[in-house]
Amino acid sequence: MKIIVVGHGMVGHKFLEELHHLQLPRLNVTVLCEEPRAAYDRVHLSEFFSGKTAEDLSLVAPGFFEESGFTLRLASRAVAIERRQNTVTTADGEVLSYDKLVLATGSIPFVPSVPGRNRAHCFVYRTIDDLEAMRACGAKSKTGVVVGGGLLGLECAKALRDLGLETHVVEFAPRLMAVQVDDGGGKVLRGKIEALGVHVHTGRNTVEITDGAGARHRMVFADGTWLETDMIVFSAGIRPQDALARQSALALGPRGGVAVDNHCRSADHHIYAIGECASWNEQLFGLVAPGYEMARVAARHLAGQTDAAFEGADMSSKLKLMGVDVASIGDAQGLTPRSRCFQYVDELKQVYKKIVVNESGSRLLGAVLVGNADEFGTLLQMARGGIALPDDPEFLILPSSDGKAQPGLGVDTLPDTAQICSCNNVTKSQICAAVSDGASTIAEMKACTKAGASCGGCVPLVTQVMKAEMAKRGMAVNNHVCEHFVYSRQEIYHLVRVGNIKTFDELLTRHGQGLGCDICKPVAASVLASVWNEFVLTPQLAKLQDSNDYFLGNLQKDGSYSVVPRMPGGEVTPDGLIAVGQVAKKYGLYTKVTGGARVDMFGARLEQLPLIWEELIAAGFESGHAYGKSLRTVKSCVGSAWCRYGVDDSVGLAVELEHRYKGLRAPHKIKFGVSGCTRECAEAQGKDVGVIATGKGWNLYVCGNGGMKPRHAELLASDLSKPELVALIDRFLMFYVRTADRLQRTSTWRENLEGGLDYLKGVLLNDALGLNAELEQQMQAVVDSYQCEWRSAVTDPAVRQRFKSFVNSERPDEHIVFVQERGQIRPARSDERRTDPSLAA
Amino acid sequence: MKNDLYTTATATWTDVCPLESIVPDTGVCARVHGRHVAVFRIGQNQLYAIDNVDPKSGSSVLARGLVGSVGARVVVASPLYKNHFDLATGECLEAPEQSVQVYAARTEGGRVLIALQ
C-alpha cells in the first residue's frame, strides 16, 4: 500500500510512529514536509529561547526512518491533490501517486487584517524558522509586542522576555486566555504576568500599524491610544491549514478544516485528515492530545481495524505560562445549564481556583486553576471518570489547614482504564505494566511508556501511580541504599546532619545493620565529606573509601594508578608543564591530555604515588580530584583576555570557580564549563554547571551532560553578576548534594526531579523551601575547610605508610607489565605477557 | 585468635606484618612464598586471607577492595569490576567459576601469620 503523508509536525510524526508500530507488510510511505527540518516539539517551542536547540526539540528518535523504511522529504511542499488520479503534486512539479493520503498539515497562524501587518519586523510564532527570524530581530530591538493574549500569545511573550525585550501583550478580549479561564482567573493571571514585568493591554483593538517616532512601529488602537515597539509578533489564534482540501474541493467543516468522520476519513475515503487541519463533528482541536488520538485512529483504521474511532476529546489543559500555573478542565466557564460553582481567591498569593459541579453537587463538570494547579490531576480524573464527589466539594480547592490532607483521590480508586497521560494516551494499566517490567524511576517510565514525555503536566500523577504500584508489588518504592540501610541517600544525608554523626560506625550502629558494603560505605563517605569535610583518610573514614579515594588516584585495569594534578580552568604555566613532563619522564609514565583540559599521567605503582605527589606539590600543583565523586574540571575558552569575540574573562572566572568548588564531595562527579561569549567554545551547555558570558553578566545553565546520555543544560538564570552567580551555584550544588541518589549525575537527578526545572527554579531562585541561606552557608563551610588531599597524605606518616604494593616486601608488583606503543608505555595484553617472558618487570 | 582447623602439623606459618599495619575493616597484600595474598582485618581481630589476584582482570588488586557483608557472608568487592568474593570460602558470588583460594590466617603476639595450606 502506497501512503503519502502531507505534513511532518507533531501529529504527522505520531501517525508515522503508530503506523510503524503496527508493522504492516508491503508498506510504501512517503512523507512530505514543508519545513526544512523533521518533526519537532511545538508545545515546548518557547524553550528555543531558553537554551534548547532545534535538535533538542526534535521528536524523531534516532534511526526511526532507517528502521521503518519510511521516506521523509524535507522542504517538500504539496501544492495540489488530483483526486481522480489519486496523485499529489509537489511544488517542484513532481507527481506522486497514492493509495491512501493522510493530511496532517496543521494550522496557520491567524493574522488580523490590520493595515501595516506586513511591515518588516512583524512576525508570526509557529515554526523554528519563525523563531530564528524573531531571535535575529530581537537582538536589534528594545521592545516587543505580542498581539494575542491567549495561550500561545503568552508563550510568545515569554519568548520575547527571554530575548531580553521590554514585552507587551495586546489582547482584543477584556481578559487574558479568554477561552480557557473566566474573569476571576483572568484577573489573577494578569496580576501574575504583570508582576513578571510584562505589560498587559486588554480590550485593545489594533486598527493600524505605522512608523513609530521612538521605535520602528506605532500600533494605533481603536480608542485612539497607541503603543510604540521595535517588533511585533502576531499570535492571535490559528486557522486550520486546509488549502489542499479547498484546492481539491474536499468537504470542509463550518469553521474550515477537512471534515472527517469517526475514522478520521474525509468525504473522499482515500484521504484522511488528522490534527489541527481536521474538523470532526464540526469541531476543531488545537491541542496535541486530540491530534495524537486522531493519529492513532487513522493509523489503525488504515491497518484494517475498522472499529478504531475518534470519540472527541475534552480540551482540558494544564500549562505553565511564564512560570504561572494555568489549568482548565471541561466546562470551565460553567455553561452547563443549572451548574453551580465554588470559587476560592487568594489575592495575596495570587491564586484563583474554581470548580463547576452539576446541580446536585455530585459530579465535577469543570475547573479553572490559576497560580497553583496542584489539584489538576485529581480534578481531571474526577471530571473524566465521573467519580462521585465528596460531600463538601469545596475542600477540593481550599488550602488545607491544620495539616489535614485534602480529600484527594487515592490513585488506587482509579480504574485500570483511567487515562493518566492524555498526550500519549497512557492508561493506569500501562503504567502498572511498565512497573512490572522493571521501570522504577520517572525517567525510565517516560522512556518505555512515553507517559509524561510530551507536555509533562501529568508527571506528578504518573509518579503517584508508579509508586503505588511499586508499593503493591513489594518493591516498596525501594530507594534504600542497600541491605544495610533502609534509607535513601537523601535520608542518610539528613540522619548524618541532624544526628551530628561523624563516623560510619556510629551511623551503622544507630541506623543500620550488618557490616556495611561497597555500596553504602562510599555513600556514607561522600555524605560525611559533604557535611563535615574532614580529611578522607583519617582512621575512621579511610576504610569507607572506594579504592580510588583510598589511594587518591585512579585505579587502572592492571592495578596501576593514574595521577592528575589540578590545572584550574585548563590554565598551566610553561614551568608547570615542564614540571609535569619531568615527573612523568622520571617515573616512566604515559601522559595524555584529558577532555577536561589537563594532563593525566598513567602507570604509577602504589608505592610511587607519594613520591610523585611530592614532586608535583613542590612544583606548585595540588590534587585534581580525578579519583573522587567531586568537582573534576572547569573547562574554559580563553575569553576576553585573548579572543577577539570574548565579552568577559572566562578563564578568570573558571579559575575562580574551580578553586571555590574543588574538593566538594558529591553524589557523582561534577563538571563545569565557562564560555566567554555565546559562541560557547567551552561547551558549557554540556556540563553539570555551565556559565556563558552575555556582556551584561553571566548566564547560568545547569544539569547538562555529555557521555552516555547527552543532555543539553537548561538556563537557570540570566545576566547574573559574579556574586549572584556564585551564590546560585552554591545553592544549586548543595541542593544536588543533599537530594540526589548515589551515582546520580545532575542530569539524571534533574530528569527525576518531580516538578522539573520550574521546581528547581522555585527552590533556588524564589527560595520556595526557605533553604537558600542554609545551602550557601554549608557550601561556604566546605570551601573554608578545603585541603589538598595529596599533601595531607604525604605529610601524615600513618597514612603514607599504606602506600605500598606489599605489606612485607619492597619488590614491585610483577603483574604490572608495560610495552611500548607510539613512544610511550601501555599495559601489556595477556598474550604479550605470555609470549615474551622478558617483559616481566 | 586460635583456630584448631588451621593448626595442623603440616601448616607452615609465615609472619607477614604487625596487626596494626592493617587498618580495621581494610586489607593489605602480602607476598607469601611467591603468592600474592590479600589479608583482611575485620573489626579488631578477625582475619581472612585469600588470593590477591582478581581472576577476572588478572590484576593483583583484591586487597584494595571494600569489605562488607552480604547477608551473613563477609565479602570483599573487587575494586575493578566490583565482583564479590566470600572471604571465608573464596567463592565469587557473581561468577563461581572465578572463585579464588582461601588461606589460613591468625594473630600471634600482635603479628599476622599466614599459612598457604
Q: Identify the CA nearest to A494 among candidates A739, A297, A773.
A: A739
Across the A/B interface, how many CB contacts are shorter than 8 Å? 95
Indicate the residue of B24, B29, B84 with minimum beta-carbon distance to A807: B29
Please report the sign of the dihedral spanned by the C-alpha atoms of residue B55, residue B57, residue B63, residue B67. negative
Indicate the residue of B60, B65, B80 with minimum beta-carbon distance to A557: B80
Mention every residue, 6+ apart, whose C-beta is less than 8 A from residue A585: none
Contact A815 B53 (CB under 8 A): yes
In angstroms, the CA A143 to CA A134 distance is: 12
Q: Identify the CA nearest to A198 among candidates A156, A228, A169.
A: A169
Distance from CA of A550 to the nearest CA of B (A): 8
In angstroms, the CA A374 to CA A369 distance is: 9
Three-state SS at A133 = helix
In angstroms, the CA A356 to CA A541 distance is: 60
In angstroms, the CA A368 to CA A764 distance is: 28
**pLDDT value at position A839?**
41
Closest chain A residue by Cα to residue B15? A808
State the amino acid at position A774 in one-letter form.
E
Q: What count of Cα atoms within 13 Å lies in the side-chain half-sphere of residue B76? A: 34
Three-state SS at A693 = strand
Q: Identify the CA nearest to A286 among candidates A249, A236, A243.
A: A236
Q: To 5 degrees, how large is the angle CA A829–CA A835–CA A836?
A: 90
Instruction: Give the pLDDT means over successive 10-residue stretches in chain A (841 positions).
Output: 96 95 92 94 83 86 92 95 95 95 95 92 92 92 93 87 92 87 86 89 93 94 93 92 95 94 95 96 88 94 91 78 82 86 85 89 88 83 75 78 49 76 84 86 82 74 82 70 88 90 94 92 95 92 95 96 97 97 97 95 97 97 96 96 95 97 95 95 96 95 87 94 97 95 90 84 90 94 95 95 94 94 93 57 36
Distance from CA of B45 to the nearest CA of A (A): 15
In angstroms, the CA A219 to CA A225 distance is: 9
**pLDDT value at position A477?**
60
**pLDDT value at position A836?**
45
In angstroms, the CA A560 to CA A611 distance is: 15
- Residue pair B39/B111 in contact (Cβ under 8 Å)? The answer is no
Q: Identify the CA nearest to A294 among candidates A269, A274, A318, A311.
A: A274
Distance from CA of B29 to the nearest CA of A (A): 5
Please report the sign of the dihedral spanned by the C-alpha atoms of residue A435, residue A438, residue A442, residue A448. negative
Contact B79 A522 (CB under 8 A): no
Strand order in the sheet with A278-280: A258-260, A278-280, A283-284
Indicate the residue of A521, A808, A815 with minimum beta-carbon distance to B17: A808
**pLDDT value at position A478?**
63
The contact set of A with B (CB < 8 A) is 483-484, 514-518, 520-522, 539, 542-544, 546-548, 550-551, 555, 557-559, 801-802, 805-809, 811, 813, 815-816, 830
Instruction: Report residue A297 as a C-alpha cell.
Output: 485512529
* Rama region for A667: left / alpha / beta (φ>0; ψ in -120 to 50; rest): alpha
Instruction: Report residue B38 as a C-alpha cell.
Output: 590479600
In angstroms, the CA A597 to CA A578 distance is: 16
Instruction: Report residue A344 as a C-alpha cell.
Output: 476560592
In angstroms, the CA A504 to CA B67 distance is: 13
Any A CB within 8 A of B46 CB: no
**pLDDT value at position A838?**
41
H or E element at residue A672: strand A670-675
H or E element at residue A383: helix A376-385
Q: Which of A806, A809, A811, A816 to mutate to test the interface with B (most CBs of B within 10 A)?
A: A806
* Residue A615 phi, psi (nearest 5): -70, -40
**pLDDT value at position A420?**
83
Tens digits of residue pLDDT in B45-101: 899 999 999 999 999 999 999 999 998 999 999 999 899 999 999 999 988 999 999
**pLDDT value at position A476?**
58
H or E element at residue A191: helix A183-195
Can you spell out the DSSP letters for B66-116?
Answer: EEEEETTEEEEE-TTT--EEETTT--BSS-GGG---EEEEEEETTEEEEE-
Q: How many CB atoms lie within 10 A of CB A275?
A: 34
**pLDDT value at position B2?**
43
Please report the sign of the dihedral spanned by the C-alpha atoms of residue B74, residue B78, residue B79, residue B83. negative
In angstroms, the CA A598 to CA A635 distance is: 9
H or E element at residue B14: strand B13-18
- C-beta contacts of A372-378 below 8 A and 24+ residues apart: A372/A325, A373/A318, A373/A325, A373/A326, A373/A327, A374/A460, A375/A406, A376/A318, A376/A327, A376/A329, A376/A457, A377/A458, A377/A460, A377/A461, A377/A464, A378/A408, A378/A409
Instruction: Report residue A837 as a C-alpha cell.
Output: 617472558
Tens digits of residue pLDDT in A368-389: 998 888 788 778 888 877 677 7
In angstroms, the CA A290 to CA A292 distance is: 5
State the amino acid at position A307 in one-letter form.
D
Instruction: Report residue A511 as a C-alpha cell.
Output: 541506623
Mention every residue, 6+ apart, whose C-beta is less than 8 A from residue A719: A164, A694, A696, A697, A698, A699
**pLDDT value at position A446?**
83
In angstroms, the CA A310 to CA A762 distance is: 39
Please report the sign of the dihedral spanned by the C-alpha atoms of residue B30, residue B35, residue B36, residue B39. negative
Any A CB within 8 A of B3 CB: no
Q: How many CB atoms lie within 10 A of CB A229?
A: 27
Q: For chain A, what's the residue count?
A: 841
In angstroms, the CA A16 to CA A30 distance is: 10
Tens digits of residue pLDDT in A205-229: 999 999 999 999 999 999 989 999 9
